[in-house]
Amino acid sequence: MHDVLVIGAGTAGLTAAIYARRASKSVLVLEARGFGGQILNTPAIWNYPAEPGISGFDFAMKLYSQAETLGAEFAFGTASGFRAEDGGFTVPTADAEYRGRSLIIATGTSHRGLGLPGEEALTGRGVSFCATCDGALYKGRDVAVVGGGNTAVSDALYLSDLAATVWLIHRRDSFRADPADVALLGRKENIRLLLGTRVTGLVAEDKLSAVVLTGPEGRTSELPVAGLFIAVGMVPATGAFEGLLELDPSGYIVAGEDCRTSVPGVFAAGDGRTKDVRQLVTAAADGAVAATAAVRYVNSL
């Protein structure tokens, strides 16, 4: 049994591992896919203090290396929940069970889809959720990005250096993204804005050939594109904990700035908890707070 069992190896989880190890607690980090979380595929990070322009991959690897050097242990597996027993918590996966005296849940979020017919089948055949992963496949071709937040604007700017034309489609009349990034859109001659417009259908045979648009007055049209990049928000990856922890109506773990959940000894850190700001810096802060609280909990046992 480890002192601190962390579920998720994104910024919050890895930071929690670093802080718990510096407090001389044994730590196991359980990760479902790969170290780094959502930031892994970001080409450049400009809003993390003291690391301007660092790539998401380098940032993630620095965090992982630091946690590993300090002595954190790692395992791969998808947590299917947890149960309290024998003075700690047991987290089962498909292949094994892991135990900790305290538990930090830092499972983050996953991409939200548009819910359109054929969307899932076309993922990887014209539909993508990762511009930096798949953008090079559409070099010199017309693509569309749907969304109005930081990710959508960042994706459009990134793709503008690869694609012939980038259509940025947003259902509202203004963007929610940082004004500084929105201002950059006007400097790119090959970015076209379609505001007050929704993507309501996909046209494809073997792969995507066009998207169906519905404009402000309800008129529909088809826009020929080779790729559609969806950036309309995230869904908390907390389904495994439904019924075990208090979740809000959107599925986020109810936990305040102290990262304490409805179950003593279980803490939530990162984008998967209820919070106003979901950024790298707040994920790191959550990791530090959750680990500190977990250490105090373990010391009190």
CA distances from 208 to 49, 115, 132, 151, 160 (A): 40, 16, 19, 22, 19
Among residues 3, 58, 95, 130, the one annotated as catalytic is: 130
Q: What is the DSSP annotation of 242-277?
A: BTTB-B-TTS-B---TT-B-SSTTEEE-STTBS-S-
Question: Rounded to whole angstroms, what are the CA distances from 171 to 2, 194, 200, 219?
Answer: 48, 8, 11, 14
The one catalytic residue among 134, 142, 155, 271 = 134
**Nearest CA-CA partner of 188 in 164, 221, 157, 214:** 157
Active site annotation includes 259: no
What sign for the dihedral angle of Cα 274, 276, 281, 285? Answer: negative
In the chain, where do the E strands start and end? Answer: 2-7, 27-31, 73-76, 83-85, 88-92, 97-105, 109-111, 127-128, 142-146, 165-170, 191-195, 198-204, 208-214, 220-224, 227-230, 234-236, 266-268
Q: In which element (H, E) is residue 157 found?
A: helix 150-159
* 130 part of the active site: yes
Torsion sign across C-alpha atoms 112, 206, 125, 147: negative
Distances (CA, A) of 205 to 121, 136, 202, 224: 11, 22, 10, 13
Residue with tokens 């892994």: 40
Q: Out of 3, 58, 133, 286, which one is annotated catalytic?
A: 133
Q: Identify any residues that bridge with 127 across adjacent strands, giving them in sequence order.
A: 123, 228
Q: Report the alpha-carbon angle 289-73-239, nearest 5.
A: 60
List residues with catalytic annotation: 130, 133-134
